[in-house]
């Protein structure tokens, strides 16, 4: 008798029904509501290169990280580049791990982002993307926040098809966290571009530009709410005047940061705090948490030795200038000997060691780091 290739000795009909049972058992495990506190259902990640897990690999863009030595410490890929703009895991990866996600959120543009894989979470983030559609156009291809929300709408429809509308809605509302890390590019690769005619500075004051950002983000977050998102964590903009790129092009000393970018970040962050308070008041059942990335990163930069780092100014992987801050990380870059001793992996992005410190504060920290609750509390909210 010819054996079934899947189950020795069983008929094809029996094999088919065994597979059906296995699939539905897996889906039931993912969506059951009695495992509160035992693991995150889905992590939906939106944002820029700080949390991109590989979407830009599938775009025609100048912003890519799918070449070595990026990913050299990413164990899941055997040290091969995946499109993450760091040497290892992003903050989004680390948060998902600690909160019990079954797997890393899969890039939306990946061919594997189908079927039950999307129930672990989907990553929509894109290097170069911003709140404004014009942000990052110097890179050509990138996914702005508007497009990322469009893509979540597609994912949302796929979840309905997988689970049925009622169970899918519960899964998104009760078992999923929506992480948004965006805004830095709107300053670095839009408003602050040195070629004034490309950026928004030619037509808008800082107040006007920040107002525009907040207005757009309000619409984007409300769209996600209308697609059943309820648990949000939104990172504010970090001290972008302190990154190796800014320090290099402005020829600053090690202890200095560029004032204008940091001032703009602080101005935006104040408005973002007000926006999230407004949304918490006006969108029933929602919980918008503010991740105070600015202060967390500035603390690590200012007191880097306390955290075991040797430098908070020099990029581990890069080329050009005092801080290796001109040319992005790639195969021809100079690579430091000990990645764990550098706050910055490349001219723009933190190392995995720095990401670990920040992620721990967001997961279990007090309200100075994340408010009104931390991510472990938000998961079980």
Which residues are annotated as catalytic? 49, 346, 349
Q: Identify which of 91, 32, 46, 21 has the alpha carbon closest to the alpha carbon of residue 300.
A: 91
Summarize the chain as % helix, strand, coil (round to 5). 45, 10, 45
Q: Is 165 left (phi over 0), alpha (psi -120 to 50) or beta?
A: alpha
Tokens of 59: 């775009």
Contact at 8 Å (CB) between 291 and 180? no
Q: Count CB neighbours of 207 within 10 A.
A: 10
Q: How far apart are CA 188 and CA 260, in angstroms?
A: 11
Nearest-angstrom CA–CA distance, 58 and 43: 21
* Polymer length of the chain: 381
Taking the C-alpha atoms of residue 86 and residue 78, their distance in angstroms, rounded to an integer, is 14
- CA-CA distances (angstroms) from residue 359 to 363, 377, 381? 6, 14, 19
Bond into 227 cis (ω within 30): no
In the numeric block, which tokens belong to residue 170? 């519960």
């Amino acid at each position: 008798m010819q054996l079934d290739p899947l189950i020795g000795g069983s008929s094809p009909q029996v094999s088919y029904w065994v597979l059906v049972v296995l699939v539905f058992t897996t889906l039931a495990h993912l969506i059951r509501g009695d495992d509160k506190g035992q693991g995150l259902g889905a992590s939906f990640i939106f944002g820029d290169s700080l949390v991109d897990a590989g979407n830009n690999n599938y775009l025609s863009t100048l912003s890519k990280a799918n070449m070595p030595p990026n990913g050299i410490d990413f164990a899941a890929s055997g040290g091969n580049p995946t499109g993450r703009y760091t040497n290892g895991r992003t903050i989004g990866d680390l948060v998902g791990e600690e909160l019990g996600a079954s797997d890393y959120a899969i890039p939306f543009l990946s061919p594997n982002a189908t079927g039950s894989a999307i129930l672990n979470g989907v990553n929509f983030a894109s290097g170069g993307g911003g709140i404004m559609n014009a942000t990052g156009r110097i890179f050509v291809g990138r996914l702005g926040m508007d497009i990322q929300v469009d893509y979540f709408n597609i994912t949302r429809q796929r979840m309905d098809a997988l689970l049925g509308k009622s169970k899918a809605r519960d899964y998104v509302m009760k078992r999923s966290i929506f992480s948004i890390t965006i805004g830095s590019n709107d300053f670095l690769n839009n408003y602050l571009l040195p070629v004034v005619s490309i950026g928004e500075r030619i037509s808008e004051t800082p107040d006007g530009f920040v107002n525009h950002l907040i207005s757009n983000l309000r619409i984007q977050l409300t769209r996600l709410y209308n697609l059943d998102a309820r648990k949000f964590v939104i990172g504010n903009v970090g001290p972008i005047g302190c990154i190796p790129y800014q320090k290099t092009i402005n020829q600053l000393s090690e202890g200095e940061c560029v004032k204008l970018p940091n001032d703009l970040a602080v101005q935006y962050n104040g408005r973002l705090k007000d926006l999230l308070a407004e949304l918490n008041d006006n969108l029933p059942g929602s919980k918008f948490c503010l991740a105070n990335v600015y202060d967390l990163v500035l603390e690590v930069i200012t007191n880097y030795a306390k955290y075991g780092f040797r430098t908070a100014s020099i990029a581990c992987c890069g080329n050009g200038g005092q801080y290796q801050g001109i040319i992005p990380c790639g195969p021809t870059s100079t690579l430091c000997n000990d990645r764990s001793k550098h706050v910055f992996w490349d001219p723009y992005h933190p190392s995995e060691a720095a990401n670990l410190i920040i992620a721990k504060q967001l997961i279990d920290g007090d309200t100075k780091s994340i408010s009104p609750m931390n991510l472990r509390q938000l998961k079980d909210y």
